[in-house]
């Protein structure tokens, strides 16, 4: 995307990025369902994704959504990527944690 960093987050970090563009990996129970999709994040929280009808509907179990945080529970989707059906959420969560705490400086842009 452009030159703005899009940090990878989970449910508990949503509050920090309200109004910012972020990316979240969600585990979907029912894919491609209408306007709002509910997904479980890597820290076992729940977020609502307001889908953009122009993008292709998510197909696999794990999907990464890139969008703007509307409020601590909702993201307005800009795009999505299918990440397959095999994904270790716990490990991802560790990475997310690292990327937003100790090593956050690596992922921010001036």
Q: Do the bridges between strand 62-71 and strand 46-50 make them parallel or antiparallel, or are there none, so unpaired?
A: unpaired
Q: With binding defined as CB under 8 A, does residue 84 bind another protein?
A: no
CB 41 within 8 A of CB 90: no
Length of the chain: 110
Q: Give the residue, chosen from 59, 95, 104, 108, that forms a contact with another protein under the rule CB under 8 A.
A: 95
Smallest separation (angstroms) from another protein to the CB of 41 = 18
Choose which of 18, 56, 98, 104 interacts with another protein (CB under 8 A). 98
Residue 1 burial (C-beta neighbours within 10 Å; 0-12, 13-18, 19+): exposed
CB of 36 to another protein, least distance (A): 31
Residues engaged in binding another protein (CB under 8 A): 88, 91, 94-95, 98, 103
């Amino acid at each position: 995307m452009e030159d703005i960093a899009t940090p990878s987050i989970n449910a508990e970090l949503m509050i920090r990025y309200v109004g910012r563009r972020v990316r979240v990996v969600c585990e979907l129970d029912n894919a491609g369902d209408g306007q709002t999709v509910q997904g479980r994040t890597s820290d076992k929280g729940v977020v609502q994704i307001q889908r953009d009808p122009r993008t292709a509907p998510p197909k696999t179990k794990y999907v990464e959504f890139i969008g703007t945080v509307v409020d601590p529970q909702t993201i307005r989707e800009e795009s999505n990527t299918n990440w397959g059906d095999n994904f270790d959420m716990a490990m991802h969560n560790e990475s997310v944690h690292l990327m937003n705490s100790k090593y956050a400086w690596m992922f921010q842009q001036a």
